[in-house]
Amino acid sequence: MSCSEMLSTPSNVFPRKLNGTLPQAEKAEGMYIYGSNGKRYLDASGGPVLVNVGHGRREIADAVRKQVLQCDYVHGTMFQTSVVEELAGKLAQYTPKGIDRFYFLSGGAEAVETAIKLARTIQLEHDRPQKYRLISRWNSYHGLTMGALAATGRTPFRTPYSPMFKDAIHIPAPYCLRCSYGLKYPTCGLRCAHALDEVIQKAGHETISAFLAETVSGASLAACPPPEDYFGIIRDICDHYNVLLILDEVMCGLGRTGRWFAAEHFNVSPDIMILGKGLAGGAAALSAVGVQSKHFEAIVRGSGQFAHGGTYTHHNVAAAASVEVLHIIEREHLIERADNVGRLIHNKLKERLAHHKHVGDIRGIGCMWGIEIVKDKDTLIPFPRAEKIAERLWDNIFENGVILYRATGLAGIDGDALMIAPPFIITEEEIDVVVDTLEGSLQTIL
């Protein structure tokens, strides 16, 4: 559909996608979404990497219905609710050591903004009012609201609005395939981690409030885990300068990496952790900010207030959905399943695609894998962005009934990748369908 045809089509919706029409989704169940066009789509990306327990879970629907009928809405400044208390207690069983107070919100970007403000509040409570600046990383994604966008390191999203926000300081991401310093791991000495120390000193350590990073890089770098010792160095640098470490686990948390939280892989405890996406498995709009109890106590004993909030913070119906998602994960051992499924995906991708002349890298962790597409395998030269390789591959795969997630701009403004990040309930037979379809599309498009 052309833009003119879209404008002439009767609708009052301002759609997410403006350059074409989308199939109408009529039903979603298990691993599949069913369209009004009669087609069935295998959801191998979990939407934007959030559907973790599968679509259409009756248990979640029942929990939400029960909560709506019991108590549908109360304002967080007026009442507490037992289901929100239950959710916080449940999360505290699994989050990294010390993270045991949780502030609940509606979406990932909102949680990022909350974390940034919370870090500033903590610094004020410790009598460090000059600490206000944020450091984050290039090739990162933290959301599209203004504060989150300032922290995001994805140029096409930032450029139109950059005059409107107060920017964060950015350092290179741990992206060994395309090292910003032209080095090789491990002889590099993790130059990208030590860049944080350098930037803190140059910017003035007394002005830096927090460092924000995705524990495992998501869509901007297509499931790119850091080297094992990266966050140990980062944690030490933050501690040395009284800089708070904020880990964004909106995409990589809640079992996606084969652990409850990706931080477990790197033996790191942040000061603040951001959760979302899989927290309610897509059934409700819910995110959270977890903070170490020592920081929470400093606020309570100090000013006694966190100047923040919203209409849907601590929403009890969303919390009911999340509690049931966590019960399903526990009951069906889906964390272990995500780990096992991830190994299957990796092995099948490696076997079928590792030698493909346009596959530059296969990387990932748990149930979160990226396939970087390049023009030349030996030099890793990317396709020009104008060729829209990721979009063309995605469209072809979608037409063949499989949904993946795409990433662009990995190599400067160029670069293409696809992500496989299915619900943890995917079967081996369904993984074979995904890999077959991907391989066929590479052959067709490239």
HEC states along 182-226?
Answer: CCCCCCCCCHHHHHHHHHHHHHCHHHEEEEEEECCECCCCCCECC
How confident is the model over 90-96, as a mean pLDDT? 97
Q: Which of 314, 331, 348 corresponds to the end of one domain?
A: 331
Provide the residue count of the chain.
446
pLDDT digit string, tens, across residues 258-270: 999 999 999 999 9
Q: How many domains does the chain have?
A: 2
φ/ψ bin of 331: left (φ > 0), alpha (ψ from -120 to 50), beta (otherwise): alpha
Residue of 379, 368, 378 lying closest to 417 (CA atoms): 368
Name 297's Cβ contacts closer than 8 Å, sequence gap at least 6: none
Domain region containing 184: 59-331
Bigger pLDDT: 405 vs 20: 405
Using alpha carbons only, give the angle 222, 227, 233 rounded to the nearest 5 degrees.
125
pLDDT digit string, tens, across residues 274-313: 999 999 999 999 999 999 999 999 999 999 999 999 999 9
Q: Assess whether pLDDT exceeds 90 at residue 154.
A: yes
Q: Which of 331, 357, 382 corresponds to the end of one domain?
A: 331
Q: Are residues 355 and 237 in the same domain?
A: no
Q: Are residues 320 and 348 in the same domain?
A: no
Residue of 77, 34, 79, 82 lying closest to 55 (CA atoms): 34
Give the per-residue pLDDT at 350.
Answer: 97
Q: Are residues 79 and 32 in the same domain?
A: no
pLDDT digit string, tens, across residues 162-201: 999 999 999 999 999 999 999 999 999 999 999 999 999 9
Q: Are residues 317 and 345 in the same domain?
A: no
At residue 64 the predicted structure's pLDDT band, cuts being 50, 70 and 90, is very high
Q: Are residues 296 and 318 in the same domain?
A: yes
Residue with tokens 């939280």: 261
Q: Are residues 416 and 304 in the same domain?
A: no
Q: Are residues 389 and 321 in the same domain?
A: no
Q: Are residues 420 and 318 in the same domain?
A: no
Residue of 49, 35, 33 lying closest to 405 (CA atoms): 49
Residue of 312, 321, 316, 319 lying closest to 110 (CA atoms): 312
φ and ψ at residue 258, rounded to 5 degrees: 85, 10
Q: How far is CA 151 from the centre of its chain?
A: 14
* 3-state secondary structure at position 414: strand
Q: Are residues 195 and 246 in the same domain?
A: yes
Q: Are residues 287 and 346 in the same domain?
A: no
Tell me, what CATH number does 405's domain have? 3.90.1150.10
Strands 272-275 and 244-248: parallel
Q: Are residues 133 and 192 in the same domain?
A: yes
Strands 133-137 and 208-214: parallel
Q: Assess whether pLDDT exceeds 80 at residue 388.
A: yes
Q: Are residues 202 and 89 in the same domain?
A: yes
Give the per-residue pLDDT at 3.
Answer: 60
Q: Which of 331, 360, 376 corresponds to the end of one domain?
A: 331
